[in-house]
Amino acid sequence: MLLQKKDKLVMIGDSITDCGRKKPEGEGRNDSYGHGYVDMVNAFLQSVYPQLGVRVINMGISGNTVRDLADRWQTDVIDHQPDWLSIMIGINDVWRQYDLPQVMEKHVYIEEYENTLRDLVQRTKPSVKGLILMTPFYIEPNASDWMRAAMDQYGAVVKRIAEENGAVFVDTQKAFEPVLEHIYPATLAWDRVHPNSTGHMTLARAFLNAIGFSWNGEQ
Amino acid sequence: MLLQKKDKLVMIGDSITDCGRKKPEGEGRNDSYGHGYVDMVNAFLQSVYPQLGVRVINMGISGNTVRDLADRWQTDVIDHQPDWLSIMIGINDVWRQYDLPQVMEKHVYIEEYENTLRDLVQRTKPSVKGLILMTPFYIEPNASDWMRAAMDQYGAVVKRIAEENGAVFVDTQKAFEPVLEHIYPATLAWDRVHPNSTGHMTLARAFLNAIGFSWNGEQ
Amino acid sequence: MLLQKKDKLVMIGDSITDCGRKKPEGEGRNDSYGHGYVDMVNAFLQSVYPQLGVRVINMGISGNTVRDLADRWQTDVIDHQPDWLSIMIGINDVWRQYDLPQVMEKHVYIEEYENTLRDLVQRTKPSVKGLILMTPFYIEPNASDWMRAAMDQYGAVVKRIAEENGAVFVDTQKAFEPVLEHIYPATLAWDRVHPNSTGHMTLARAFLNAIGFSWNGEQ
Amino acid sequence: MLLQKKDKLVMIGDSITDCGRKKPEGEGRNDSYGHGYVDMVNAFLQSVYPQLGVRVINMGISGNTVRDLADRWQTDVIDHQPDWLSIMIGINDVWRQYDLPQVMEKHVYIEEYENTLRDLVQRTKPSVKGLILMTPFYIEPNASDWMRAAMDQYGAVVKRIAEENGAVFVDTQKAFEPVLEHIYPATLAWDRVHPNSTGHMTLARAFLNAIGFSWNGEQ
Amino acid sequence: MLLQKKDKLVMIGDSITDCGRKKPEGEGRNDSYGHGYVDMVNAFLQSVYPQLGVRVINMGISGNTVRDLADRWQTDVIDHQPDWLSIMIGINDVWRQYDLPQVMEKHVYIEEYENTLRDLVQRTKPSVKGLILMTPFYIEPNASDWMRAAMDQYGAVVKRIAEENGAVFVDTQKAFEPVLEHIYPATLAWDRVHPNSTGHMTLARAFLNAIGFSWNGEQ
Amino acid sequence: MLLQKKDKLVMIGDSITDCGRKKPEGEGRNDSYGHGYVDMVNAFLQSVYPQLGVRVINMGISGNTVRDLADRWQTDVIDHQPDWLSIMIGINDVWRQYDLPQVMEKHVYIEEYENTLRDLVQRTKPSVKGLILMTPFYIEPNASDWMRAAMDQYGAVVKRIAEENGAVFVDTQKAFEPVLEHIYPATLAWDRVHPNSTGHMTLARAFLNAIGFSWNGEQ
Amino acid sequence: MLLQKKDKLVMIGDSITDCGRKKPEGEGRNDSYGHGYVDMVNAFLQSVYPQLGVRVINMGISGNTVRDLADRWQTDVIDHQPDWLSIMIGINDVWRQYDLPQVMEKHVYIEEYENTLRDLVQRTKPSVKGLILMTPFYIEPNASDWMRAAMDQYGAVVKRIAEENGAVFVDTQKAFEPVLEHIYPATLAWDRVHPNSTGHMTLARAFLNAIGFSWNGEQ
Amino acid sequence: MLLQKKDKLVMIGDSITDCGRKKPEGEGRNDSYGHGYVDMVNAFLQSVYPQLGVRVINMGISGNTVRDLADRWQTDVIDHQPDWLSIMIGINDVWRQYDLPQVMEKHVYIEEYENTLRDLVQRTKPSVKGLILMTPFYIEPNASDWMRAAMDQYGAVVKRIAEENGAVFVDTQKAFEPVLEHIYPATLAWDRVHPNSTGHMTLARAFLNAIGFSWNGEQ
């Protein structure tokens, strides 16, 4: 597995990452990590690799776009001096274009998204052991749905930036594919965005597979 | 894996099983499965084996002893006609002897525990595909601690009944052992009983390993 | 307009009708009619035709299927002795099949839906001046979406029963079509079911057009 | 209709406009527009003219007088750069003279009212496509009632300013007249000021008629 | 003064009497008598005539009509064995005709009002030292207002019954007259029904004058 | 009566005056004047002398001593430019010596009390039509009770300052005397300080008698 | 000390005993024993004599008189089969005569008090190892205060019954005497009835001295 | 006893000291001292030595380490000018190492603990009559438990500093020993840290014995 003894992993993003985590830092007792994929990832790491003493900090904030991440990058990422950093952002960048079409100030179009995300990744890369870039997703199997189509384009941006920078890449949209063959979106998420535990487990599993996690604790 | 297409799995127990599940039936949307090992087990089954359409129902109730399970066995187990049934009970049977020593009406001593549990298992066995018996546990590495020692005796009862009845056996106390080599009990559970997500993941993993779950979804 | 002086109109249905109405009877001051299409219909009737003194009663209950309507038909419809009765039911009958696929007890399949609805209509027809049957709907423009496709079938049932019984027919799904050409579903309803005021206005307008309402108050 | 594609309409006023809207900006999902005539106007525009993509922002604040509007004019009107602006103010200017007669600091007498409103209109006129001035109203049919008589005088001021400035004029008091012939004030508003949905529909309809709205969506 | 040593006075009515009194009996410490004219009457009697030890019990219930009084007459009046009984009822009997015109089940028309009130008075008269009948009122100076005109008719009924039965008569509507010459209704009561302390003092003073109360404690 | 048309009366003090009044100014609708003697005084003035249009403002604050009054004198008295000012202070000055004997910082001994009160009165006298000084009180008939004895000394200070400055003097302790002959202190106030309505009526009556109030509204 | 290994002590009474204890049985974790003398007595017994394992159950209920104790004697005393029983009752029996003088139904006069208490003691005596009778008290040093004088008479009744039946007697009024020489009643209890921790420690100490408790744990 | 007439005793510490005390100063009526050993100590001093008028102030704050004490030493200790000062600190210094092992910023290791505590003691010693140093504790009888072992080392530091500075020393861990011979830790404290009243009485008694308190009030 990529993570090593005493490594610190910061996970940043929007409400999918946040999930009710403790503020200002998402770590500690009880519900500190929220009730989403971050909590699951941490629980996997602590229970399967207890000897590593990995430290996970959830820095997601509900409603964030990449523009919001840029605003809080220094205090919420750099100042924590992470060894590893995961980023999952973009859902709200797209969603506001589709649920608040007139409120254009809240839309983050794809050029701004790409430029901002690339800038954050390039600035951070020198000071970490590694970056893990996760695509945004939309729990809708119809690829010609307006919002799903837009989300796929934002996902492609993430992939490009990951490749440019040698980051670990997690294709969350793809991770949902086999599940959506059997389960209707409304079972996973009433709004096709905020998943239940099954959806979060799907995300956690995609993340863990990408970093070389072993179910049996092999390092 | 033991579970098959459309199987219904009922999981009964105390607060470790309950974890804030929906009442009267612990299934459905959002927090319906509670925030513990049952929710994780369900999330694993749905996300890794979506084609099976397994149905999980959480029937845990906080504070229950085996005596309480017997009282609600007909409505809460038999009437649901499960294909599979998991039972994890005994923590409160022991705990009340140690946190309310004078209130003897609330103590369930080991003879009553064994007789009641055996009776429930034997009554239910003919109508299910299989039973999964999980030991109670105490997150305390010192085996000569009074309450840990008692809990081990109750765990031995569970093992004996599992063997007598050909049930799947899950030794939860043993599952905590490798974790407790590296992590102090207070990290996992302030009261050494109600675990955080790391502890619940430990329980879920022990359960899943016992039923032949594969991380890669192999059936 | 179909409604005449002092007529009493009872409107029954699920959460789309309910919208937080007063219980047990949805009429009176302030929020008594809920915050949905029923409140709008009533406001239209009172402000444009104040001389009629029409009485509107909202009898919707959130989560109801046609099976629930049948259970409360005597007290909630017949006992009110309405002159006119509107029914909009079926969304939950379909939805539970898609958001709780394993919980089959909550599914109302199309045969039961048709038989129950027809029976209610036929029993009530003799004692009212007229019936208004509204289709269920799903705010999703993709006609091959699993749940939309199912909803269309239930809508066809409503149309058939309306025709058989000479009831006023309101095709709510069709009313959403011109709106969905320009507005993405998530703007109207995050879950594609519970609409915002724009969606409810669409429903109210479809209803009013069907009963011969005139914006200028012509009778 | 006066409003055109992508036009932005800001609606400012007191509690009749506010109706529990979201702060600081009254636009977006769910209850963002409040539960009054603004929400209805927006719902009409979106559902009947979805192709226009008109943007409505509710900037009413409960308890405001024209003096309060002047205090927040820059941030709450000018900074939003509206294409259209509607103003309905004056009820509290009058009401405080009648419900708190000794608290003279809270009274806005007619000279101050006229001067302030005229000044706001003249300052704003050059930067908008059009202004819509709505009179204050009092839901009391007796024209010699002290407060109704005063309200009529304030309404006459609004009419004068509208004419001077070529603004669209909405006589809300007159809109209530046909309704009050049949319905007693207490049915519409217990305090003769804050109307129920019937009253708000009356206001919305008066507003829409003034801007050339067509029930059938004709532009 | 009519009341004598140790006399028990029961005061029954609607929300004007209730004013948040303690249930089921309105007597005792702190807010037990509510915050209206009953509390004031009691405070006058205890502070000016402490030697009498008069006992006052507030039995008003918000929303009551004379029909509701009849329903609870045995338990709420007769069973208390009062020496004196005051009744102020009728506001809701009239009001529902004007704020809920379609909901005719809630209207108590004048014949029913008169018959019921007369019956209650005649049944009770033999067992008490005296009855005090207070008219309902409407804080509206315009005598041709629909609801005020109706209220005056109900008040005339009270007067007639008082005269027939030799009861003390309190004309509350008349008590408001000199106040309404100087103060607009909205100062006293936003809904023209539920008065502020000034209105309740007006009621208390009318009541006390009728029973021969002396400001200086003369008996 | 001393008060004349349009006069403004400010009433300052501690919790006996405050009684839950609106902050920052105790005037206006509903509970603005609190539920104590100030509310009663205002209700008397408005209902018996409606033609005067007297303005009453309650500026009491719970827990205040004369030291606290001095701290807020400019904003809470002078800035309101009262025509008449009433002061009732001293209960907490004494009480803290008896309920928190060790917390000497909170004690206001009699020299400080006298000097501060005299200073406030002398500073304010030139700018008002008149001052009304009310003694503190203790609802305890036993004059040799430690705290009652102390309170009497503080009351004597108030009397002396009133005489020196030609202020209207209200001896509240004396007003309670005839009541306490018949009623035990616990009936009036569980803590012998915060009276029920009977106690507040006693205070209001003492105040009104001192300013020449007439029950029949004679001026 | 009178209590011996495994003895069960039930303590019954009014609010002084209750102090917010757990219902229906006042024993167990955290605040189960309330925050008064019972909690202190239990804490003394457990911490100084841990080897005894004495069981204490708090059965006090706020507001109770001896009449209420009689009503619940079977379920709340007899059914618990105590080894020792303490009773402290009578405060409310007296208090209601002084704070609700007109509400005579709530007064328990001294004959009823004596007869009822004696009856309860005589019925219970045969089945317990011993009874502890505590007097009611009133935190008022003035023996000629009306209510204090009455309380002393009720205390004398308790003493008489204790002597007649060989019960342990605790004179709580006397226990307060040395404290009241130095501390004013308002420091101990704002209403002279419900003491702070100092007052409860005074009660606990009087109780413990009466049963032979030793600070050093000597048996 | 060490404390003398009018002495002021400040008690500082963490949650064991705090116990819900009033902020900012823990003294006064009702729950001001919290519900722990400080409240008991105060109750003992006031009820057994009422003539001394000792003043106790609880300055504990939940979650504090010695590092937090240093931060607030000037305002929370020095500024109060105590005659006596008790300190019980260290539990959180140790606990964070065991319940949040990765969050090293919150750990206070033994060198920092010793240096900080010694510094505080030496700075304060000259200005007080005496210091009382209480060890931290852990309610766990197994001396080889990781956290108990660490706590014992911190306790040894306290003892050393007490001896160096002539302070009164209270070995709280030792005080629990005889209790833990008979009672399992979970009875006293579910988390082995926050004790019930039995545990707090154990602490209070250890404290009182150390300062020469006599159960019979001997000075």
Report chain C's mean pLDDT, rounded to a whole number: 97
> What is the rounded CA–CA span in Å between residue B24 and residue H205?
48
Test B102 with G53 for CB contact under 8 angstroms.
yes
Active site (annotated) includes residue B80: no
Mean pLDDT in consecutive groups of 10 residues from the start of chain F, 219 residues: 97 98 96 97 98 98 98 98 98 98 97 98 98 98 97 98 98 98 96 97 98 90
CA A131 to CA A122: how far, in whole Å? 10
Q: How many CB atoms lie within 10 A of CB C212?
A: 12
Query: Helix (H, G, I), strand (E, B), or coil: what is residue C13?
Result: strand
Mean pLDDT over each residue of chain E, to the nearest integer: 97
Q: Is pLDDT above 90 for G219? A: no
Task: Say which amino acid occupies E18.
Answer: D
All residues of chain E having their beta carbon less than 8 Å from the beta carbon of residue D196 are: none
pLDDT in tens, D128-170: 999 999 999 999 999 999 999 999 999 999 999 999 999 999 9
What is the Cα D102 distance to its own chain's centre? Answer: 27
CA G150 to chain centre: 18
Question: Residue E219 pLDDT > 80, yes or no?
Answer: no
Given a contact cutoff of 8 angstroms between Cβ atoms, the answer to whether B42 and B55 are in contact is no
What are the backbone angles phi and psi of residue A203, rounded to the nearest 5°? -70, -45
Asked if residue D185 has a cis previous peptide bond (ω within 30° of 0), the answer is no
Under 8 Å between Cβ of D3 and D54 = yes
Taking alpha carbons only, the member of E196, E190, E156, E187 closest to residue E173 is E156
D53 touches chain A (CB under 8 A): yes
Which pLDDT does position H218 carry in this prediction? 85
For the domain made up of C8-210, the CATH class stated in words is alpha beta
pTM above threshold 0.80: yes
* pLDDT digits 0-9 by tens, H56-97: 999 999 999 999 999 999 999 999 999 999 999 999 999 999
Which pLDDT tens digit goes with each residue over B204-213?
A: 999 999 999 9
Interval E113-125: pLDDT, tens: 999 999 999 999 9
Whether pLDDT at C2 is above 90 = yes
- H88 or H217: whose pLDDT is higher? H88
Q: Is B15 a catalytic residue?
A: yes
Report percent pLDDT > 90 for chain G: 97
Average pLDDT over residues G125-149: 98
Q: How far is H102 from chain B (nearest CA, A)?
A: 10
Cβ-nearest to H186 among B144, B147, B184: B147
Interface contact flag, A99 D29, Cβ < 8 Å = yes
Q: Which pLDDT belongs to residue D218?
A: 85
How far apart CA B55 and CA B70 sit, in angstroms, is 23
Active-site annotation holder among H14, H15, H76, H83: H15
Residues in chain H: 219
Q: Is D190 near chain E, with CB under 8 Å?
A: yes
Q: In this predicted model, what pLDDT tens digit does every residue of E55-64 receive, in sequence order?
A: 999 999 999 9
Do residues A64 and A89 lie in contact, with contact meaning Cβ atoms separated by under 8 Å? yes
Average pLDDT, integer, range H136-143 = 97
pLDDT attached to residue C219: 77
> Chains A and B: how many Cβ contacts under 8 Å?
75
CA-to-CA distance for E165 and D137, rounded, in angstroms? 47
Computed over every residue of chain B, the mean pLDDT equals: 97
Chain F residue with minimum CA distance to H55: F102
Contact C147/A186, CB-based, under 8 Å?
Answer: yes
**What's the pLDDT tens digit per position in A3-58?**
999 999 999 999 999 999 999 999 999 899 999 999 999 999 999 999 999 999 99
Least Cα separation, residue F27 to chain D (angstroms):
9
User: Alpha helix locations (H) across chain E?
Assistant: 15-18, 37-48, 66-71, 73-76, 91-99, 110-124, 146-165, 172-180, 185-188, 197-210
Residue-wise pLDDT for C122-140, tens only, equals 999 999 999 999 999 999 9
Average pLDDT, chain D: 97
Average pLDDT, chain G: 97
Mean of the pLDDT values across residues D187-207? 97
Q: What whole-number distance in Å separates Cα of residue D87 and Cα of residue D154?
A: 13
| CB atoms G201 and H46 under 8 Å | yes
What's the rounded mean pLDDT across residues H9-25? 98
Q: What is the mean pLDDT of residues E96-109?
A: 97
In this complex, is the C-beta atom of H99 within 8 Å of any C-beta atom belonging to chain B?
A: yes
Does residue H155 carry a pLDDT above 90? yes
First to last CA, chain H: 5
CA distances from G181 to C65, F147, G177, H49 (A): 75, 14, 6, 11
Predicted local distance difference test score (pLDDT) of residue A112:
98
What b/e sequence results for E143-170 when a residue is b if at least 16 CB atoms lie within 10 Å of its CB, and e otherwise?
eebbbbebbbebbebbeebbeeeebbbb
Residue B219 has pLDDT above 90, yes or no: no
Write out pLDDT tens, residues D76-99. 999 999 999 999 999 999 999 999
Minimum distance, in Å, between the CA of residue D105 and any CA atom of chain F:
12
Whole-number Å distance between alpha carbons of G162 and G135: 10
Quick check: C54 and E103 CB within 8 A?
no
Residue B92: its chain G contacts at CB < 8 A?
none
Predicted local distance difference test score (pLDDT) of residue F218: 85
State the Cα–Cα distance between residues G133 and G170, nearest whole angstrom.
6
Q: What's the pLDDT score for residue A219?
A: 77
Q: Give the 3-state DSSP-derived string for chain F, with helices as H, strands as E and coil as C.
A: CCCCCCCEEEEEECHHHHCCCCCCCECCCCCCCCCCHHHHHHHHHHHHCHHHCCEEEECCCCCCCHHHHHHCHHHHCHHHCCCEEEEECCHHHHHHHHHCCCCHHHCCCHHHHHHHHHHHHHHHHHHCCEEEEECCCCCCCCCCCHHHHHHHHHHHHHHHHHHHHCCEEECHHHHHHHHHCCCCHHHHCCCCCCCCHHHHHHHHHHHHHHCCCCCCCCC
- Rounded to two decimals, the ipTM of the complex is 0.96
Residues in chain E: 219
Render pLDDT for C71-101 as a digit per residue (tens, 0 to 9).
999 999 999 999 999 999 999 999 999 999 9
pLDDT band for G160, please (50, 70, 90 cuts). Answer: very high
Mean pLDDT of H186-215: 97
Q: What is the pLDDT of residues C145-156, one digit of tens each?
A: 999 999 999 999
pLDDT range class, residue B218, cuts 50, 70, 90: confident
**Alpha carbon D198 to its chain's center:** 16
The DSSP 8-state label assigned to residue C33 in this structure reads: G
Q: Which residues of E touch D91 (CB under 8 A)?
A: none
CB contact under 8 A, F198 and E46: yes
Q: Does F45 touch chain D (CB under 8 A)?
A: no
DSSP string for chain G? ----TT-EEEEEESHHHHTT--SSSB-SSTTTT-SSHHHHHHHHHHHH-GGG--EEEE---TT--HHHHHHTHHHHTGGG--SEEEEE--HHHHHHHHHSTT-GGG---HHHHHHHHHHHHHHHGGGSSEEEEE----S---TTSHHHHHHHHHHHHHHHHHHHHT-EEE-HHHHHHHHHTTS-HHHH-TTSSS--HHHHHHHHHHHHHHTT--TT---
What's the average model confidence in pLDDT over B55-61? 98
CA-atom Rg of chain F in angstroms: 16
Read off the pLDDT of residues G110-121 as tens digits, 9 standing for 90 and up: 999 999 999 999
The pLDDT of H185-211, averaged and rounded, is 97
Q: How far is G6 from chain B (nearest CA, A)?
A: 8
Among this protein's residues, is H32 annotated catalytic?
A: no
Per-residue confidence (pLDDT) for residue C218, from 0 to 100: 85
